[in-house]
Structures are given as C-alpha cells and as structure tokens.
Amino acid sequence: MRVVIPPIKSQGIKTKLVPWIQALVPDVEGRWIEPFLGTGVVAFNVGFKRALLSDTNPHIVRFYRQIQRGMLCPARVRFYLEEEGERLRRSSRNGYDHFNAIKERFNRDHNPLDFLFLSRAGFNGMMRFNKKGEWNIPFCQKPERFSRSYVTKIVNQVRDVACLIQPEWVFLTASFEDVIRQATSGDIIYCDPPYAGRYVDYYNGWTEDDETHLFELLSSTQARFILSTWHHNDYRQNTMLERYWNRFNVVTRDHFYYSGGKLENRRSIVEALVFNFTAAIEKHNHGLELKPEQMLLLEERS
C-alpha cells in the first residue's frame, strides 16, 4: 500500500514508520485525534472519516485548513512555486537574497505558500522557529531547488492530501491538554510528541514536565491511544519509558535517520509504540542490528 507523503517537510517525519503504525490501529467508530499533528503524515494514511487534528504551530494548521477549504489548490501551488522558483534561480548570491526575501515576507505575513516554499528550500528539511515565532532555518544552498520535476512532485503531494482531507476533519491550534480532554471512549488518540531528552524540532519546545503531564492525561483517558516515542539509541536509553510508559504495552522497531542524505550521516534509533489496548503482537524485540519486521499483528484485534 502506497504511503501518502505530505507536502510539508520536517525532521523526524514518520513516513517510513507509517505501515507499522497502521498495522496497530484498532477498529474504532470514533475520531482519529492527534494533539501533535506535525506534517500530518500519519493522519493522512489511516483512513478515518472524522478527525480532530491539532498543533501548536499555527502555520501547519493554517496550511492544511486552506487545502481543506479549496483556497490552496494544486494549480495555485504550481503557479506560485514556478514563479518563486525562477526568482530563486535568478537571485543574487546563489539564491540567498530571494530566500531571505521570502523568509522576511513569511515572518511578516504568514502566507501558507511562503511556508511551503521555506519548508522545501530550507536546510536539510528542518522546521524551526525562534522565540519570536519567526522562521529560523537557513537556505539549502540550492538555487535550482524548484526544478520542473520537483515542483510537480510537490503539486502531486498537495493533490493527494486534498483528496484525503475529509469535510469532517477539524484542524485547530490548541494545547495537547485541551485536545486530549476532548477524546471519548470511541476515539483513538495518536500522540507523536517531541522526544524528551533529544534535540526536538518543535514550535514551542518540550520538557520532562510536558512528558509527565502527557502521561497523566493518557493514563486517565477513556479513549484508546498510541504514543510514538524512542526506546534507545547508540548512546543512551529513553528514561521516560522506564519511568512512565512501560506500564502500558510497548512494541519496538529499529529505524535509521539520515542527516543530509549521506550514508555516513546515518543514525540508528530504536523506535517504540506505546498503547493501552490489547493486540496480539510481540511486545519487545529491539536491538541495533537489522532484522525482519518486528511487529506481527494477527487478524483479530480488540
């Protein structure tokens, strides 16, 4: 099954983990709820008719709301990227001047198209903002970034997302606390918070106190939940798992992240999914060596 990739980029995106997450999602009649929407890659691939999707980053929420309302359509995205991509190519200082002009305009006007441009022309696919809420990632140093094929790729991603977003999906900017409290027994909550104890790519940051509060909320919810977190990497363990999450069901899987697309920059990490419902799966099978798919989910899930 093809994984739909969203047009917004960010480090730590769960694209390669989507099939693993999909396999764990139980059959529920309620809503798909995400307090940490991020790029939206999981929400766009689980197939729920009703969803409550939130992020504290207002630019992400504004971008997907405009797609939902038809204000940001594939044709408009193509025209914009072709125009701005050509200006980037012709810009002085190998594109830096035009990139900085777009960044200044976005920080002033918060245009969703400029947000898309910065997401795709920023260094290393990162998304970061300073304390003033301004875009804080430098140029990728590729003035030819928006080639015809690359623009078409992004336009197709916008089209895919536009087809998947349902009228009953609600996008909002709210705290994770407010969103989780709205969940009922028929819903499923998927949480992909920043990883405590590691560098995070998040609009408002993340602390151990936040992790503690998230644990308290998920422990008391009547809904089912799935939490994405990390188990360990080459250097250390995730102490939050031992402190909190190990009292729930946990499955693990090896994963590799690439920084800059180079093999020598590959970093291994053991990812974990924490959940509060019964599933016939292997609870722990982690390590740093490559191994077959670790999660074997039987047809019957409760």
Please report, in tens digits, the pLDDT of each residue of the chain (302 residues total). Answer: 799 999 999 877 789 999 999 999 999 999 999 999 999 999 999 999 999 999 999 999 999 999 999 999 999 999 999 999 999 999 999 999 999 999 999 999 999 999 999 999 999 889 999 989 999 999 999 999 999 999 999 999 999 999 999 999 999 999 999 999 999 999 999 999 987 655 455 566 788 999 999 999 999 999 999 999 989 877 788 889 989 999 999 999 987 665 544 444 456 788 999 999 988 666 555 443 333 333 333 333 33
How would DSSP label each residue in 91-116?
-TGGGHHHHHHHHHHHHHH--HHHHH
* pLDDT score at 299: 31
User: 122: Cβ–Cβ under 8 A, 6 or more apart, which residues?
Assistant: 9, 135, 137, 138, 139, 140
Q: Hey, what domains does the chain have and what are their CATH numbers?
A: 23-57+173-275 (3.40.50.150), 73-163 (1.10.1020.10)
Mean predicted lDDT score pLDDT of the chain:
88
* pLDDT score at 117: 99
* pLDDT score at 287: 41
Burial class (CB in 10 A: 0-12, 13-18, 19+), 176: buried
* pLDDT score at 245: 95
User: 131: Cβ–Cβ under 8 A, 6 or more apart, which residues?
Assistant: none
| DSSP SS3 for 51 | strand
By the 8 A CB rule, do 253 and 295 touch? yes
Q: Taking the model in full, what pTM does it have?
A: 0.88
User: 39: Cβ–Cβ under 8 A, 6 or more apart, which residues?
Assistant: 6, 8, 9, 10, 13, 60
* pLDDT score at 150: 98
Q: Which residue has the tokens 């992240």?
A: 257
